[in-house]
Chain A
Amino acid sequence: MTRRQRNSGLIAMAVAFVIFILPFAFTFLMAVKTKKEAALMLFSWPTEWHFWDNFTEVIQARNYMLLLAYFNSTVITVAAVSGLIVMGAMVGYVLQRRPSGWNKVIYAGVLMGLIVPPAVVPTIWVLQGLGLFKSLTGMVLIQIAYGLAFSVLLYRSFIATIPRDLDEAAIIDGAKPWAIFFKVILPLLKPVTVTLITVQSIAIFNDFTNPLYYLPGKENVTVQLTLFNFQSQFQSQFNLLFMNILLVTIPPLIVFVFFNRQIVAGMTAGAVKG
């Protein structure tokens, strides 16, 4: 490591400390303060540490609402991301491998999916017609519908880097299309799948607007909605509000720590070649 590299590292760290680390330190410190101290909103060291008190109070609030919310959000995220992986990869595969007039239609759909803001109230109508309004299934399908465009694009460009020889060898072996896809192609898509899992699971887990509209009901609460609800309930209890922020940030953090190293690899091959 050159002196230049060391010095830039030191400067970068100093800047990153002020801009990125301090706000998180603030969140953490607020979360462990007493109600009175937190209300001052000062960036100060807590005079008394109330980590466990605040923690248990937030968990127990509204009859353990947060735990239910964790469960719901996890179910929605896992199901929707799985759906996005399979469906996105399948479309990307056909799109990349089989040029035809249909591709224009698919691209038009993808483009619409990227830029058209969803029409909320008509969507509620459709969901009701299907009996899926207020259900986790409905929410999962909505997240899939809204996330498909991005997934298809990501997979299509990555599949372009997989040599056709591989599928052709499998075709000659007499493998069925679904077998080629699930046994040969899908495993090769792992790097970009990791990227997709990270980006989409964070987005879906942190989504607030869509559950607000499509998933009303106490039994359907998601983690971001607890934050939104607690915002009015805890208006004068910043310590609990910030503790809640801290708690709902943990699952995305775990995903990130787990996949951190692989994300860039997937991006290199996928997203940027679009």
Chain B
Amino acid sequence: MKLIPSAALLAAFALTAGLAQADTVLSVLADGNAETVAALDALTKAYTAAHPDITFEIETHPGGADGDNMVKTRLATGEGGDIIQYNSGSLFQALDPVKNLADLSDIQANVIDSFKTVVTASDGTVRGVPFGAAMGGGIYYNKKIYADLGLSVPKTWAEFMANNEKIKAAGKVAVAETFGDTWTSQLFVLADFFNVQAEVPNFAADYTANKAKYASTPAAMRGFEHLEEVFKGGYMNEDFGAAKFDDGVRMVATGEAAHYPMLTFALGNIKQNFPDNVNDVGFFAQPGPDAAKNGLTVWMPAALYVPAASKHVAEAKAFLAYVASVDGCNEMIKANGATGPYLIKDCKLPADVPPSVADMLPYFQNGATAPALEFLSPIKGPALEQITVEVGSGIRPAAEAAGLYDQDVEKQAKQLGLPNW
């Protein structure tokens, strides 16, 4: 009896050994963020240690729209390599996954269901595995300033603005904005989605079906108005138009500014550049009109995919199965620390998480989270970041901007060939 399985094992070993002679090099295309590279390095090293016949070649691409473009072009031309790290949700859908990405449905055993939905192609197959931790979109705050001025974490937008007023009166920058990296300007609009959904539960579906618009839905327009109010209040840093993401992180970490609206992945940057200030930074969800209905808008992490044109689909899938296991998850936590909850079953965060992560966890534990709109609807207008820069710089009023964004969305919907548009 005992002989048979070991014979099978031997045969399997012989088979892998046979493959091993090929000494496969898997090419990985990923964004150049320090955290991404650190996690990939850790994962691939650990994997190569266990499977010496598989080695990796990591290539990075610029972030933002330039990177999106590059990934799309590579996939379209069959030059995607073996593994691609890329966003989940609407950006994933824009890759035409049925055609361009390999089916990964059979390695999802450990993946939490909510993540599977954001990497599921139109034919119902799952095409990616989670890479990294879930993120919240909200507001980082400097705990020292809050303590010095005796402020408490706001639960409504009105309280938030009242805090801003006190901070300004104390001669500090209340809100750090960094429009030098245009994408950062979208936060007040995108992170408000929990509040939108709390008030208009069908917004995502109606919006996708061309029935709801930003300009005609007061709850949805509020995000634009908030941005406008913050500008008009004069709460922003003087160099808001030129400052970059790194500056925003510095300002809130070192107490140059009290708030910085951002995604929680910024913690990685704080740890790297301002390790002494990690405990000075807290986090809260973007407050809405009603304290009773406040919660966190959540971004799913990026995913790893295998291009269908890869010559090493089997090997790449084996590696991705490892990434989507508890071991892989722990390896990522080791590399980057716990920046948020991971989407792998039984992957526990260490107990000593930084305050900004601890501030985020209750929202998850209490179920007070909603996915960001880009995970519920395939449509996200490409010009949003320019429009929010305009609102945040006082160039265009909120109402007009919302209308303009609706037009931008229409263009995207038409390009995607959605019904009703």
- Indicate whether A and B interact: yes
* Interface residue ranges, A against B (CB under 8 Å): 121, 124, 128, 133-134, 213, 216-218, 228-229, 231-233, 235-236
On whether the beta carbons of B79 and A236 are closer than 8 Å, the reply is: no
B62 CB contacts on chain A under 8 angstroms: 228-229, 231-232
Q: Which of B32, B57, B59, B77 contacts A232 (CB 8 A)?
A: B32
| Distance to closest chain B CB from A154 (angstroms) | 34
Count of A-B contacts judged by CB separation below 8 Å: 33
A213 CB contacts on chain B under 8 angstroms: 73
CA distance A231 to B66 in the complex (A): 13
* A-B pairs with beta carbons under 8 Å apart, 15 shown: A124-B77, A133-B77, A133-B79, A216-B70, A216-B73, A216-B74, A218-B57, A229-B32, A229-B62, A231-B62, A232-B32, A232-B62, A232-B63, A233-B60, A235-B246
On whether the beta carbons of A217 and B73 are closer than 8 Å, the reply is: no
Q: Which of B397-419 contact A (CB under 8 A)?
A: none
On whether the beta carbons of A236 and B246 are closer than 8 Å, the reply is: yes
Q: For the A-B complex with A216-B70, A235-B245 known, give 11 more contacts whose Cβ atoms are closer than 8 Å.
A: A124-B73, A124-B77, A213-B73, A218-B59, A229-B62, A232-B32, A232-B62, A233-B32, A233-B34, A235-B244, A236-B246
A216 CB contacts on chain B under 8 angstroms: 70, 73-74, 79
On whether the beta carbons of B60 and A229 are closer than 8 Å, the reply is: yes
CA distance A128 to B79 in the complex (A): 11
* Interface residue ranges, B against A (CB under 8 Å): 32-34, 57, 59-60, 62-63, 70, 73-74, 77, 79, 244-246, 273
Closest to A231 in B: B62
A232 CB contacts on chain B under 8 angstroms: 32-33, 62-63
| Distance to closest chain A CB from B216 (angstroms) | 36
A134 CB contacts on chain B under 8 angstroms: 79
B77 CB contacts on chain A under 8 angstroms: 124, 128, 133
User: Which residue of B34, B77, B273 has the most chain A CB atoms within 10 A of its CB atom?
Assistant: B77
CA distance A229 to B245 in the complex (A): 17
A133 CB contacts on chain B under 8 angstroms: 77, 79
Closest to B33 in A: A232
| Distance to closest chain A CB from B308 (angstroms) | 17
| Distance to closest chain B CB from A113 (angstroms) | 24
CA distance A124 to B33 in the complex (A): 28
User: Which residue of A124, A128, A133, A216 has the most chain B CB atoms within 10 A of its CB atom?
Assistant: A216
B73 CB contacts on chain A under 8 angstroms: 121, 124, 213, 216
CA distance A228 to B70 in the complex (A): 13
User: Which residue of B32, B57, B60, B246 has the most chain A CB atoms within 10 A of its CB atom?
Assistant: B32
A121 CB contacts on chain B under 8 angstroms: 73
| Distance to closest chain B CB from A29 (angstroms) | 20
CA distance A133 to B32 in the complex (A): 24
A229 CB contacts on chain B under 8 angstroms: 32, 60, 62
B74 CB contacts on chain A under 8 angstroms: 216
A228 CB contacts on chain B under 8 angstroms: 62
Closest to B273 in A: A236
Closest to A120 in B: B73
Closest to A213 in B: B73
CA distance A218 to B29 in the complex (A): 10
CA distance A128 to B74 in the complex (A): 12
User: Which residue of A128, A218, A235 has the most chain B CB atoms within 10 A of its CB atom?
Assistant: A235
| Distance to closest chain A CB from B193 (angstroms) | 27
| Distance to closest chain B CB from A73 (angstroms) | 18
A235 CB contacts on chain B under 8 angstroms: 244-246
A236 CB contacts on chain B under 8 angstroms: 246, 273
| Distance to closest chain B CB from A133 (angstroms) | 7
CA distance A216 to B32 in the complex (A): 15
User: Which residue of A121, A218, A229 has the most chain B CB atoms within 10 A of its CB atom?
Assistant: A218
| Distance to closest chain A CB from B142 (angstroms) | 19
B60 CB contacts on chain A under 8 angstroms: 229, 233
B32 CB contacts on chain A under 8 angstroms: 229, 232-233
B34 CB contacts on chain A under 8 angstroms: 233
User: Which residue of A124, A128, A229, A232 has the most chain B CB atoms within 10 A of its CB atom?
Assistant: A232
User: Which residue of B62, B63, B273 has the most chain A CB atoms within 10 A of its CB atom?
Assistant: B62
B79 CB contacts on chain A under 8 angstroms: 133-134, 216-217
B63 CB contacts on chain A under 8 angstroms: 232
CA distance A229 to B33 in the complex (A): 11
CA distance A231 to B63 in the complex (A): 10
A124 CB contacts on chain B under 8 angstroms: 73, 77
| Distance to closest chain B CB from A161 (angstroms) | 46
| Distance to closest chain B CB from A237 (angstroms) | 10
| Distance to closest chain B CB from A223 (angstroms) | 16
| Distance to closest chain B CB from A210 (angstroms) | 14
CA distance A199 to B18 in the complex (A): 55
| Distance to closest chain B CB from A127 (angstroms) | 9
